[in-house]
A and B are shown apart, each in its own frame.
Chain A
């Protein structure tokens, strides 16, 4: 290529050497064609496999099950959606949304010091340590994490042992005796479910929060200090508002993941079900795919509203 003969100065435009060159020329003249060719395979995949499946889900949710034969009747009806509002089903939805909201709020509170420290004060080696320290739990096996908490919260596990060692078993028993959130042991109570949700989704809150905090310009903090604001005022009026998009971005994950999870409440929790468990059982043992599909539409609708609000608050730039 480089050893082109110097004797033909007229050849400023190189001769076309084959099909690859011809195609390259075409791309050069029509950049949109290249764009379309690049996008076609991924869009075909996501369009057919993912959107197609979502459409199938939507379609199934408008079918209903025949009460006598137990077979799915492929006719359009809203009866299945009406079933969602039966008290027993509606309770499941309320319970799940309440849990998701609590987990999100708690995650935001617990994540903040970690994200704030990593963004403002950690430098060099410490910065890497914090990054890895959040990344490893985020990416390590989900089931292993849930399993670890089973070990911790079980009746004979580490928490009971610690309380006993401190002579504080009475406190633990008093907490477990509370109605609704209590239970026979931590691993069969809502407190346990909540703790595991919080643990498993926490890194999803830390990372976007840290990214948003890192983008707060130092000059603004200096300006705030120059204007005489105390560090508390700076925090309240400068840092917190600027970190909000990060918090919302993180909350998309914590909220959405809690809405759909069915394994954590199955392994650690009481017999009162969440949306994910309802979907899983309805499509599996009960064989009621239409109702399972209608249940699955609930998190989709909630998340679409949530995403629309988040987008307006500018959270997508922090994702």
Chain B
């Protein structure tokens, strides 16, 4: 690809060289354009396209907020014929919403803790070392998110089938923790690479052993990155539906409850209210994660 670019440069050079000879001022038009190409202002069509793209990403989510207040119960009529707050109360009193919410929270907490331990260990091992099989390990870590979720789900289902493992909260956690590891790993390894080796050496020089160095030097430096990774892992697990449908058996997490309501709705506006709650419950950890990793080289959620 690069050779292609070099080859193509040659005729351009011939064409332009006379203008750029020393001593001869370049024409104004050329100078201005060269400037624009490097820093300058963005071309108007690009600005419009970029902003339109961002709006495309955000408007649909905002729409959910409008629909939670609609008085129309059976259809998706737009614009809503009227606005009301009663659906929030109805949702609060619906008995079937609460158990899935508790289960989702429980699963997300356990999976996050597991992913934090496993992801951090992995990042600690891989941050500055090189060893045989390193590339294979990094492939193994990203595989659960690089392959479609249905593969993870179907594989786990086959394994439970082969080994006669009954479905439970534990089987849901098995799947969730597996794909949450990479999120913690990404955040932790970026921070490990930024921590100077010298502070670890200084700690050893002052007589601290490996555990003391970990407790008093490494952990405080890793803290915010781990918290960010944990927040994102929590959001990912709280929201996961594809793997969960294969591993949950009869239990339902909040996303599974929502999926059932989407396929066979009982009260449509209740689904809208739950959707808002889900949006808020996932936005808060994401914003915290962004705040914690701001300014660094780290990409809090690169790759999901």
Contacts and interface: CB of A to CB of B under 8 A. Distances in A.
Contacts of B301: 135, 138-139
Nearest to A201: B304
Contacts of B283: 136, 140
Contacts of B22: none
Interface in B86-141: 114, 117-119, 121-122, 124-125, 129, 131, 137, 140-141
A213 interface: no
B75 A156 contact: yes
Interface stretch (A82-90, A166-174, A175-183, A229-237): A229-237
Interface string B130-156: 010000010011111011111110111
Interface string A112-129: 011011101100000010
B181 A45 contact: yes
Interface in B246-297: 246, 255, 258-259, 262-263, 271, 275, 278-279, 282-283, 286-287, 290, 294
A154 B163 CA distance: 44
Interface string B14-41: 0111011000000000100111111001
A94 interface: no
Given A145-B61, A227-B9, A46 B258 contact: no
A139 B235 contact: yes
B63 interface: yes
B191 interface: no
B85 interface: no
Contacts of A136: 58, 61, 283, 286
Contacts of A28: 210
Contacts of A113: 46, 49-50, 53
Interface string A128-142: 101111111111111
Contacts of A24: 209-211
A76 interface: no
A157 B181 CA distance: 39
B198 interface: no
B232 interface: yes
B148 A257 contact: yes
Nearest to A131: B290
Which residue, of A41, A145, A148, A241, has the highest number of chain B Cβ atoms within 10 A? Answer: A148
A218 interface: yes
B13 A227 contact: yes
A117 B178 contact: no
Given A113-B49, A117-B47, A143-B241, A57 B158 contact: yes
A152 B64 CA distance: 10
B12 interface: yes
A286 B197 CA distance: 57
Nearest to B147: A303
Contacts of B162: 56, 59-60
Interface in A235-263: 236-238, 241, 244, 252-253, 256-257, 259-263
16 contacts: A17-B209, A27-B210, A50-B143, A50-B144, A50-B152, A117-B49, A135-B301, A147-B262, A150-B76, A157-B78, A199-B60, A211-B302, A227-B12, A229-B37, A299-B147, A300-B147
Given A51-B140, A135-B290, 17 more contacts: A1-B208, A2-B206, A20-B209, A35-B131, A42-B118, A54-B155, A57-B158, A118-B50, A143-B275, A144-B275, A151-B64, A211-B299, A221-B37, A228-B20, A253-B303, A256-B147, A257-B149
Closest 10 CB pairs of A and B: A260-B148, A228-B16, A113-B49, A53-B155, A117-B50, A24-B209, A225-B34, A38-B125, A24-B210, A56-B159
